[in-house]
Amino acid sequence: MIKRVQSWLGREERQQPVDISPDNIPRHVAIIMDGNGRWAKRLGLPRIVGHQNGMKAVKRATIAADELGIEYLTMYAFSTENWKRPKEEVDFLMRLPEEFIAIELDELIEKNVRVRVMGDSEALPSYTRKAMDEAVLRTKHNTGLILNFALNYGGRKEIEDCMRSLGEDIAAGHLSPEQITAELIDSRLLSGGLPDPDLLIRTSGEMRLSNFMLWQLAYSELWFTDIYWPEFGKEHLLQAVAEYQRRTRRYGGLK
């Protein structure tokens, strides 16, 4: 079993080197981490093994992003739709933050990484909230890369909650419709304070947004790969950034 896992993870070592310009690094990269279960199934392993190896890929991607000079890294860890999965799998996923804290957090602290979380935390088990609160607290004074976990997050619910908040302010007389701007909406979203992602990466061959950062991704560059998330390594991030650098971002204009 170990040899099978190593053979798949070792695929990144056979990737061809790519050239990256230090002058055009995306500030904010968002990742839809997809394919943990299918990776495990292909190897004849339980799905939970895929999620465990996916956690290791989070650390690899974070360290690689930090080394590249990426300032913000948002990881789609658990969606509002993922509650539909089998209870045993959901329970395991809710325990992963504790494991992540115990195994990976110290190294991320050494790398000056700051952890942030966005999503509906009230619906999470108390032990999951406690683990994420600990990660946020222990890294709050760090000044390096911001690692933003989207946990129990849904893009439509985020926009719905934002519109409700604005509507309440209008009803209370604190805001007029004319004062609503894109900048105000930005500030009311769960990602408030972060720039919009420059680059979105999705693994496992799927080509959809899956209710992820629907407002924020309006002008992001999209990069899809057939690689399953547990296989994702530094070379795949380099490939995505290299492709990003080959594109011209026009934002609807002409350049």
Q: Is 123 left (phi over 0), alpha (psi -120 to 50) or beta?
A: alpha
Does 226 belong to an annotated binding site? no
β-pairing, 221-224 with 146-153? unpaired
* Closest alpha carbon to 197 in 181, 182, 223, 219: 219
Report the distance separating Cα 121 and Cα 43, nearest Å: 33
98 is in an annotated binding site: no
Is 209 known to sit in a ligand binding site?
yes
Note if 34 is an active site residue.
yes
Is 66 annotated as ligand-binding?
no
Instruction: Tell me whether residue 202 is annotated as binding.
Output: yes
51 marked ligand binding residue: yes
Considering the candidates 34, 53, 152, 198, report the single residue annotated as catalytic.
Answer: 34
Tokens of 142: 């760090």
CA nearest to 75, candidates 247, 229, 234: 229
**What is the distance between the alpha carbons of residues 69 and 173, in angstroms, rounded to a whole number?**
44
Residue 120 is assigned to a ligand binding site: no
Query: Cβ atoms within 10 A of the Cβ of 148, count?
Result: 22
Q: How many CA atoms lie within 13 A of 138 on its CB side?
A: 16
- 85 assigned ligand-binding residue: yes
* Residue 81 annotated as part of some ligand binding site: yes
**In whole angstroms, what separates CA 73 from the centre of its chain?**
6
Active-site position among 82, 133, 161, 211: 82
> Does residue 147 sit in helix, strand or coil?
strand
Q: Is 80 among the annotated ligand-binding positions?
A: yes
Is 44 annotated to bind a ligand? Reply is no
Q: Which residues belong to the annotated binding site for Mg(2+)? A: 34, 221
Q: Which residues belong to the annotated binding site? A: 34-39, 47, 51, 79-81, 83, 85, 202, 208-210, 221
Q: Which residues belong to the annotated binding site for substrate? A: 35-39, 47, 51, 79-81, 83, 85, 202, 208-210
Catalytically active residues are 34, 82
